[in-house]
A and B are shown apart, each in its own frame.
Chain A
């Protein structure tokens, strides 16, 4: 599944890298701990988190994640958006909490990564 489809089906607002939504995603990863994502996130994953600090872009870039969805209508900090544009990492916003959003992704056939 491509990011564009997720944006449409889950009613996400895109905050950065609008031109980079054609990437095929390999699965989902949900966590609010940067160290956890650094250790366990996989290439091409869509990352679901509450963290809005600019460090999330660094993590997404190092792990070559497909994008980040911020939950609970949490807006990225301005520095986060700047960095995301520079690194070409799509940051999206959903009004749903993690549990609900992941549930819907799962329903759409996006799987979790294996441990």
Chain B
């Protein structure tokens, strides 16, 4: 398969996050004239594994702990860093995505890469594989925190309301025959109920029933509205459209009875189970329809019911 199909959340972030966001900015630099014996103290005291070599503000090389070990192993005499450093320094620009850094690490097996500004070529920071991992984790945590804090905010909002009765109302507008976007309203409703901190099984029941109703609006009508009333003890989903209406409600409620065209069946819907499904998820269902005029469907899900059992 094509690799571009495999893009996951992490892979997305790897393209999204820039090197400049995760690199270490406080870079300890050394002069080319510093001696290797002095470097030993610097590396040891600061626990560095390498440092850029700067001469007159310009990056001229990098000296790593590997270079230092090689020098030690060779039992050579003390000398300036400039003689032992790596001169061909592989650099990154601050505005490059992390994915470029990762492929550079992969290609050359470097432990660290120097980061410079694309235009001024000035040293901006240093990047290790560890910095990449840390940066990704932080970003994932922030995404997670967003969802958490949103939920907390909404719960506080409820607690702060002082009233004898609190009711929340949402409305979603469904466009008929738009099969591609089918389910968007139910999806948004589900996310909202989740944030409100409703029990997952209650949320699931409301979501499934609303989704079936939304599909009906899309398959059979020119569109309509889904209005949701949330109270602490019950959720009411009201679905309304202005035609064509159901001629025989009794029959429409029979499992397997369907007037859906073949193309809808081939998409996996219209097998005559939708209304049944809604009734199964609901604590109470109320269906009124006038042929040629429209249909009004009320789906009541009580919160106690939902918490106890699976929607089966």
Contacts and interface: CB of A to CB of B under 8 A. Distances in A.
Q: Do any beta carbons of A and B sit within 8 angstroms of each other in the complex?
A: yes
Interface of A: 32-35, 50-53, 74, 77
A53 B256 contact: yes
10 contacts: A32-B268, A32-B271, A33-B268, A34-B265, A34-B266, A35-B266, A50-B271, A52-B256, A74-B256, A77-B256
Contacts of B271: 32, 50-51
A26 to B, nearest CB: 26
Q: Majority SS of interface residues in chain B? A: loop
Interface string B254-284: 0010000000011010010000000000000
A95 B150 CA distance: 44
B31 to A, nearest CB: 69
Given A33-B268, A34-B265, A77-B256, 4 more contacts: A33-B266, A34-B266, A52-B256, A74-B256
Nearest to A74: B256
Contacts of B265: 34
Interface residues of B, number: 5
Nearest to B267: A33
Q: Majority SS of interface residues in chain A? A: loop
A53 B262 CA distance: 12
A45 to B, nearest CB: 20
A34 to B, nearest CB: 8
A74 B254 CA distance: 12
A35 B271 CA distance: 15
B58 to A, nearest CB: 64
A6 B268 CA distance: 28
A52 B266 CA distance: 15
A77 B74 CA distance: 89
Nearest to A52: B256
B228 to A, nearest CB: 30
A53 B261 CA distance: 13
Contacts of B268: 32-33
B224 to A, nearest CB: 27
Contacts of B266: 33-35
Contacts of B256: 52-53, 74, 77
Nearest to B254: A77
Contacts of A74: 256
Contacts of A52: 256
A52 B265 CA distance: 13
A77 B255 CA distance: 10
A52 B272 CA distance: 10
Interface string B225-266: 000000000000000000000000000000010000000011
Nearest to A35: B266
B270 to A, nearest CB: 11
Contacts of A51: 271
A63 B271 CA distance: 22
Nearest to A50: B271
Interface string B103-140: 00000000000000000000000000000000000000
A33 B265 CA distance: 8
Nearest to A80: B256
A50 B271 CA distance: 9
B251 to A, nearest CB: 12
- Which 10 A-B pairs give the minimum distances between C-beta atoms? A52-B256, A35-B266, A33-B266, A77-B256, A51-B271, A50-B271, A53-B256, A74-B256, A34-B265, A32-B268
B266 to A, nearest CB: 6
Nearest to B255: A74
A72 to B, nearest CB: 10
Contacts of A34: 265-266
Contacts of A32: 268, 271
A77 B266 CA distance: 19
Nearest to A76: B256
